[in-house]
Amino acid sequence: MRNIQHYFLNIRTFLTRLSGVPVMIFLPLMLLCFPLTAHAGEAAGAATFKAKCAMCHGADGAGKTPMGAKLNIPDLLSPEVQKKPDTTLVEIIAKGKNKMPEFASKLTPDQIAQLKDYIREIGKKH
């Protein structure tokens, strides 16, 4: 966050010196031009979910797949899952639970965090 603030401070100084026009006009436009990391993380979480989780949990996370039915996979959209603390979701993804395999050896900690965030997002959309 500090780097972003520093970056915009430098841009602000540059624009003020360049044009003499108040930067408050340009700042909202600049924010629209730069992708935010939250959106990038959400897209990465969705891609990882599709590649690693959707086969069992389904594209929507509800677990209504042949494998989900066979393994009695919980609905990720359910209040029971959505109420779990972030640390619990991260631990389940990393270490596995019941028939779910561990993903700590297959995914980076950032990817696991992105998956956790994606599970939160699909829960909000439901």
Ordered structural domains, the chain, with CATH: 2-33 (no CATH), 37-125 (1.10.760.10)
- Token pair of 54 as six digits: 């959707």
| pLDDT at 125 (0 to 100) | 85
pLDDT of 77 higher than 80: yes
Q: What percent of the chain has pLDDT over 90?
A: 64
**DSSP 8-state class, residue 97:** B
- If one counts every other C-beta atom within 10 angstroms of the C-beta of residue 89, the result is 20
